[in-house]
Structure formats: structure tokens, C-alpha cells
Amino acid sequence: MRILVTGGAGFLGSNLCERLVKDPGNTVYCLDNLQTGSLENIKELQKLPNFSFIKHDIVEPIDLDVDQIYNAACPASPPAYQEDPVHTMKTSVFGIINMLELGRKYGATVLQFSTSEVYGDALVHPQPETYWGNVNPDGIRSCYDEGKRAAETLCFDYNRMYGTKVKVIRIFNTYGPKMNPWDGRVISNFVNQALRGEDLTVYGDGSQTRSFCFVDDLMEGLCRMMNSGDTVKGPVNLGNPGEFTILELAEEVLKQIPGKSRLVFKDLPQDDPKQRRPDITRAGELLGWQPRIPLREGLERVIAYYRELMNKQ
């Protein structure tokens, strides 16, 4: 297979590239503009003969003859996507149009990395794919939430109008090695604060819930989705249905990194969802997939990764 991974130097993209290059029959093209991605994530991969890095912004068209396209390009943490909200929206909308045109031209399957944020501050819990969401179209998170919703629409419209082969997965909170320690997401925040002996910042009262999926489990779901039949288009939720409050997460981090850190509470950001847990029934039925790595084990691996990063500094 000739495989294009956009956003391939980012957290999810680099983990995916690492998995795909293990098959010597694959030629993997990693495309990234390095806005939030890092060459450090793909340093070892660039030594391999079946891996190529292309610096490019998918807001601009590109011509590449490939069989499969994993579209992971887009800043995913709130601080990153709010830094330039117009470009975030362009990445989601112009980017998927460019990838769908590529898929249309060469007959490639396009797998869109969508997000649980399409559900907004959900009024249905857990969130099934049939739920249409409760999204603020005019808030500081809208560039990401609405951009991803529009990208889903474009995928299915290209499929209906042109027969372009598409697949859409909705990713719930994912964590693991190669996650930027400064990306502003809750696990990276807590782990790095605890490792430095700093207080852990909890937004709101910590009662809001999240479900955390380890990156290896997500990679398995992604590959199963891409290689499922053409009739499996999605959307399909991929995430771990184990639900934890932010306070429970903070307590688990402090248990694994004992020290002087305490909890500090700050105001909840605008439009921050109160509950987040995927209904993964569809993933089980269509892909035979379910996550296997519990939060405690996954955190141990993330903590080891961040400790190694700190030792290199």
C-alpha cells in the first residue's frame, strides 16, 4: 500500500506512521506543516527506506498517487487550535476537500479523523453516533468543533456525489507517548506538573468527566476501520468507555507521582463539556474492536515517557 498520513509528525499521526511502516510492503508518506507536529516524533522513522516526510500544509492542494489517506491534520488541543482559529477552520475544511479530491483522482480511501467534540456539551450520555450534538457555533472552541463537523459533511457528500471511498471515525480523549507535554491537555498538564513538583491545575470543581483511550488501542481501531469493507463508512466512535472525573484522574497521577503537588482550582473554560464517554457499540459490531489498556497502565507508560524527555533536557 502507498499510504499518506497527514499531520503525520503530530501525536496521533506519528504513532500511526510508526505502526504502518512495520509492514515492509507499505510506502508511508508523512505530510505535516509542523505547526504543532515535531520532527523529533519521526526522527527514527526517517531512517527507513519505506518512509518519506513531506513538509506541506493541506490547506494547499497536493498531488500524490496513493491508495489510502489518513487525514489527521489539525491542531487538537484548545490552546493550539485557538491560537489561529481561522487557519484551524481552513485546515478542517480546505484540508479535507484537498484530500477528498486526491482520493477521487486516484481511487484512494480517505479516513477522516473526526472528534468527540462534534457532540459539544452533550445532552445525551454516553454519546452514540446517532446523537447530533449540542455545539456552540459562536464560541472560542467553534473553529475546531464546527470545522470537524463540516469535514464530516464533506466526506459523505463526496461519497454520495462522486463515489469517493470515505470513512469517518470520532476520536475521544487519547493519550500516550509522543503527546506534546505542553499541549495544554489534561493528562499532559497533570503529569508534567506532578513531575516538576508543581501544583496540579484543575478547572472548575473537577466533577466533569472524561474517558481516556491509550494511543495503542486507538491505532488498532484506526487500522481496522481503514481496512474494513467499503460499506463501512461511519461515523464510528473510537475511545475508551471507562469514565473518570478530572479529580479522579488527578488523584491517580498523584498516586503514581508522589510528592509535594497539591490541587489548585481555576475557572472552567468556555464551552468545556461536562461529560464525555463514548458509546462504542458500533465499533464492536463493525470492527470487532474494543480498548484493552486501562488508565492506570497507560498513565505508567506516559509518565515513563515524560520522565525520559525531562532527563534529555
Annotated catalytic residues are 144
- DSSP code string of the chain: -EEEEETTTSHHHHHHHHHHTTSTT-EEEEEE--SS--GGGGTTGGGSTTEEEEE--TTS------SEEEE--S--SHHHHHHSHHHHHHHHHHHHHHHHHHHHHHT-EEEEEEEGGGGBS-SSSSB-TT---B--TTSTTHHHHHHHHHHHHHHHHHHHHH---EEEEEE--EE-TT--TTS--HHHHHHHHHHTTPPEEEETTS--EEE-EEHHHHHHHHHHHHTS-TT----EEES---EEEHHHHHHHHHHHS-SS--EEEEPPPTT--S---B--HHHHHHH-------HHHHHHHHHHHHHHHHHH-
